[in-house]
Amino acid sequence: MELQDRVLKIVGYKTWSDKRKIDTLLEIDATAYTNLGKDSTKTERENTRRDSRFIYRAIKSIDEPLGTKLLINQC
């Protein structure tokens, strides 16, 4: 499953609390950055950063102040 589809699916869960959704999204983001290494290409780093912004925008749709802080701090 593509990352964006997975993120949108998590955001759409009705039975999960907002905290659980945000925690899961942040875990996905952390895993993506953890998988980057010294030998990662520029494209891989850019893709991870793009995916991270997508995740932060999804978090912003759940909790606007937190999502805004994450987006500002990423720059």
Count the domains in the chain: 1
pTM of the predicted protein model? 0.91
Structural domain including 33 reads: 3-74
* Single-letter residue type at 42: K
Are the C-beta atoms of residues 7 and 28 closer than 8 Å to each other? Answer: yes
What tens digit of pLDDT does each residue of 14-71 get?
A: 999 999 999 999 999 999 999 999 999 999 999 999 999 999 999 999 999 999 999 9
DSSP string, the chain: --HHHHHHHHHH-SSS-HHHHHHHHHHHHHHHHHT--TT--HHHHHHHHHHHHHHHHHHHHH-HHHHHHHHHHH-
Check the CA dihedral 4-61-30-72 and report its sign: positive
What tens digit of pLDDT does each residue of 28-42 get?
A: 999 999 999 999 999
Are the C-beta atoms of residues 48 and 33 closer than 8 Å to each other? Answer: yes
